[in-house]
Amino acid sequence: GAQTFSRCLASLPAWPGHVWALGRVAFTDEKPSAGLTEEQKEFQKVAFDFAAKEMAPHMAEWDEKEIFPVETLRKAAQLGFGGIYVKPDVGGSGLSRLDTSIIFEALSTGCTSTTAYISIHNMCAWMIDTFGSEEQRHKFCPSLCSMEKLASYCLTEPGSGSDAASLLTSARRKGDAYVLNGSKAFISGGGDTDVYVVMCRTGGPGPKGISCLVLEKGTPGLSFGKKERKVGWNSQPTRAVIFEDCAVPVANRLGAEGQGFGIAMKGLNGGRINIASCSLGAAHASVLLAQEHLTVRKQFGEPLASNQYLQFRLAEMATRLVAARLMVRNAAQALQEGREDAVALCSMAKLFATDECFAICNQALQMHGGYGYLKDYAVQQFLRDIRVHQILEGTNEVMRMIVARSLLQE
C-alpha cells in the first residue's frame, strides 16, 4: 500500500537532478491498498516492488532511446503478469478483473508506457483463452503468458478508427485458409510482436461481417510500416501492419465467422479498465512527486507546501484520484460478475479516469513550475504517456456514445 509504495520510491535511484518523491505521510486513507484483501495487498506489493526496481530506474531511458524492454516484460511474466486474467491450465494467473486493475495500477507507477503494452498483451491472451478452441488455447496461451511470445491487437485501420465496424481488411476463404488483404494502423507492438489478433471482413458490411483471426509473425505477405514517432508511449513501438495475400489457416479463426466484432469489443471492455488503471498509477506517482516538490521547493521565504492555494489543489488532486480509482474498481467488479451494466460502467470508468488522471498529472506538472517541463523530472513523462489513454481503446468521445446508448436504448 502507501507505505510499500513509499519504500519503493525511497529505494529508487535519484533521477538526474532530481530526487524521487520520498513518499511522505499524505497518503493515508487514500492509499491504493485501502479495502483490499490480504492476497490483493500481497500481489499489489509485488507489482509496486517490480515497478520500483525493474522499471522506474529505466523509464526515462526507455522513453528517450525508444527501447522496447522485452527482457523486463519477460521478468514481469515470471511474476504472473503476462496472462493475469487467463486461466491457469494454459499458464495464466487466473486472477479477477479487479486484481488485474490493482496490478496494472501499481506497475504503471514504474513506467506507464511499458505497463500499457503489457495490458494490451494481456487483453489479446485473454481473447484467445476465452474465445479460442482447446487446441488454440493450448497452442498460443502458454507462450503468451510467459511473454516468450508477444501479442498485438489489430482493429484500427487508416480509414476506420472510431467507426471500427467499417473496417475493410478482407479475408477470403480459399480451401482451408483465409487470404488476407488490407492494412491496420497504429498497432501497439507491431513489427516487434509475434502474434497478431486481427479483426477482418469475411462477410458483408457492418459488424456482423467481421471475423477474428490469429496471425503469426513470419507468415508470407505480412509486413509492417515504419515505426511511428510519438508524444509518449515510447517504450513500445507502434506500426502499421500490412497484409498482402497473406494466407491464414482457418484453424486460426477465433469463434465463428461473423463473431469477430463481438470478440473485439469484449476484449476492449477489460482493455478499458486496464488502460484506465495505467492512468491511475501515473496520476498516483505524479501526486507523490508534486507533494515532494511542494515540500522541498521554497519561494517567498517558505516551502510551497505552506501555501494554502497549493495545498487545496493538492487535496483536489488526491480527491479526484480516489474518485477515479473507485470508478475503475467498481467497473472491474461489474465486469467480473458479468453484470448487465458492465459495458457502460467500463466506458464510464475509462472516460472518467483517463480524463481525471491526465488533469492530475497536468496539475502536478504545473506545481513543479519550470522544472516540470524538463525531462530531468519524471512528471512530464507520466503526462506524455497517459495523454493517449484519452484517445485509444475507443476515444473518450466514443465512451460517451456507449454510455449514452446504454441510457437511451432498450
Q: Where on the chain is the footprint of ligand FAD (CB under 6 A)?
A: 120, 152-156, 161-162, 186-188, 230, 233, 238, 388, 391-392, 395, 397-398
Residue type present at position 269: N
Which three cell numbers, joined as nine digits, stand for 252? 486460426
Specify whether the CB–CB gap between 269 and 342 falls below 8 A: yes
Neighbours of 166 (CB within 10 A): 15
- Listed in sequence order, the DSSP H helices in 1-58 are 2-10, 38-50
Q: How far is the CB of 351 from ligand FAD (least distance, A)?
A: 11
**Active centre residues (catalytic):** 393
Nearest to 259 by CA among 198, 207, 216: 207
Nearest to 194 by CA among 55, 74, 54: 74
Which three cell numbers, joined as nine digits, stand for 349? 470508468
For residue 89, give every residue at least 6 positions away whose Cβ sits within 8 Å of its Cβ, in sequence order, or none: none
Nearest to 253 by CA among 295, 199, 296, 185: 199
Neighbours of 353 (CB within 10 A): 31
Specify whether the CB–CB gap between 116 and 389 falls below 8 A: yes
> Which CB atom, from 21 or from 167, has the smaller least distance to ligand FAD?
167
For residue 170, give every residue at least 6 positions away whose Cβ sits within 8 Å of its Cβ, in sequence order, or none: 180, 181, 182, 200, 201, 202
Which three cell numbers, joined as nine digits, stand for 71? 527482457
Q: How far is the CB of 194 from ligand FAD (least distance, A)?
A: 15
Distances 230 to 81, 296, 387 between C-alpha atoms, Å: 26, 33, 11
64-228-70 Cα angle (round to 5): 60
d(CA 352, CA 275): 12
Distances 58 to 55, 68, 71, 372, 407 between C-alpha atoms, Å: 5, 11, 13, 19, 44
> Which CB atom, from 172 or from 405, has the smaller least distance to ligand FAD?
405
